Structure 1
Amino acid sequence: MADASLKGAMPETHDGRSLRIGVVHARWNRAVIDKLVFGVRQALHDCNVPNDNIVVQTVPGSWELPGAAAELISGSDFDAIIAIGVLIKGETMHFEYIADAVSQGLMRVQVDKCIPVTFGVLTVLTEEQAMARAGMSAGGHNHGEDWGFAAVEMGLKRKLWRTGQFAKRE
């Protein structure tokens, strides 16, 4: 059996009861999005993030995610943001333009605003790949769970780092 750490980060459970997490998601490919948001919520719940500290907002599509993430951060006190979208390659270059712009935009928001922004945008070639990455097919895994755990971990680390503290172990 292969070591689970060969692909993806080994999940760690952190106590996120002190965190406020913003989730912004696109409405395109809604069936997959809903499963991913469910996975995020499950992970946040597993990390003890109170429901009142989870703010979920929607935008029309993935193109709007960077701007929405920036506005959420500017308008309120969040410890981390999770941006969720699903881009499925079609017959035109639209996929490449949107995927690149959204990726660069979310990274820029994270760096400019000094708030962790978890990249929860699936960029896949087929609907089947999207469904597998949302845990909707046999052998699939809901990546929303990974994004929730990552946001909690980074939100907690940001709080420590901003006060000059560092984790005791790694």
Structure 2
Amino acid sequence: MATNLKNLSDHSEKNIINVANNKFAIIVSEWNDEVTESLFNGAYETLIENGVKKENIIKHYVPGSYELSLGAQWLAQKSDIDAVICLGCVIQGETKHFDFICDAVAQGITNVSLKYNKPVIFGVLTPNNQQQALDRAGGKHGNKGDEAAITAIKMLGLVQQL
């Protein structure tokens, strides 16, 4: 859904479970760090607000969004990690590089989730410009980091129901 129709920080309470004992890994792209650090702050605060203990949130960096998939795989293979949140930002440029990176990252993160049968969340912004990124990293459209953290919690809620 377009963010101009829904704030990224708003969510329903469906499938919100007690996550006090779950462990979350957050992997953050260093590229576009003004944006990705804001995404991390949103995800971290949302996890804390939903009862996750500080010691159950681990943070790691990768150089860029392309590397999120492998970083996520290394974290997802750890048996004590319940969910991985991938945060990045790829801003449209003048070449097709944007298309190749976005496609590879989306496919890679999906593949890791399916391979390890655990939530690996796509918290990657793909805006046309820097302002759109900032608007979605704590600005007027909310924070994609908040949405990514809630998505991880809700996916753990779903598997608990099943």
TM beyond 0.5: yes
8 Å Cα contact 1:43/1:149 also seen in 2: yes
Q: TM-score, normalised by structure 2?
A: 0.89
Equivalent residues in 2 for 1:77-156 (5 A)?
Answer: 77-136=80-139, 139-156=140-157
Q: Partners in 2 of 1:44 and 1:145 — Cα distance?
A: 8
With CA pairs under 8 Å and 6+ residues apart, which has the higher RCO, 1 or 2?
2
AA at the equivalent of 1:95: F
- Please tell me the residue identity of whatever aligns with 2:38: K
Residue identity in the other structure for 1:107: T
What is the alpha-carbon distance in structure 2 between the residues aligned to residue 125 and residue 45 of structure 1?
31
Instruction: Work out the CA distance in 2 between the residues paired with 1:11 and 1:35.
Output: 22
Aligned positions of 1:1-170 closer than 5 A:
7=6, 10-12=11-13, 13-136=16-139, 139-158=140-159, 160=160, 165-166=161-162
Distance in 2 (CA, whole Å) between partners of 1:118 and 1:128 is 23
Secondary structure, aligned partner of 1:88:
coil
Extract unaligned runs of 5+ from structure 2.
none
In 1, the alpha carbon distance for the partners of 2:125 and 2:153 equals 20
User: Is the partner of 1:91 in helix, strand or coil?
Assistant: coil
1:2-53: CA deviations, max 9, x gaps? Answer: xxxx747733243210210010010001011111100001110011100100
Aligned-partner Cα distance in 1 for 2:38–2:12: 19
Structure 1 stretches of 5 or more lacking a match? 1-5
Code of the aligned partner of 1:151 = A
SS in structure 2 at match of 1:56: strand
Q: Name the % identity.
A: 36
Query: What do residues 102-133 of structure 1 show as CA deviations (whole Å, max 9, x unaligned)?
Result: 00000011111101111100011010100000
The amino acid across from 2:108 in the alignment is G
The answer to which of 116-125 and 145-154 deviates more is 145-154
SS of the residue corresponding to residue 33 of structure 1 reads helix
Q: Following TM superposition, by how much is the alpha carbon of 1:92 offset from its aligned partner in structure 2, in angstroms?
A: 0.7
Q: After superposition, give the CA deviation of every residue in 1:132-165 in whole Å (9 maximum; x if it has no partner).
A: 00123xx23112111111111212333x2xxxx5
- Computing the radius of gyration over CA atoms, which structure comes out larger, 1 or 2? 1
Name the SS for the 2:138 alignment partner.
Answer: coil
Scaled by the length of structure 1, what TM-score is found? 0.85
Alignment-mate amino acid for residue 84 of structure 1 = L
Secondary structure of the residue aligned to 1:157 is helix
SS at match of 2:43: helix
- The count of aligned residue pairs is 154
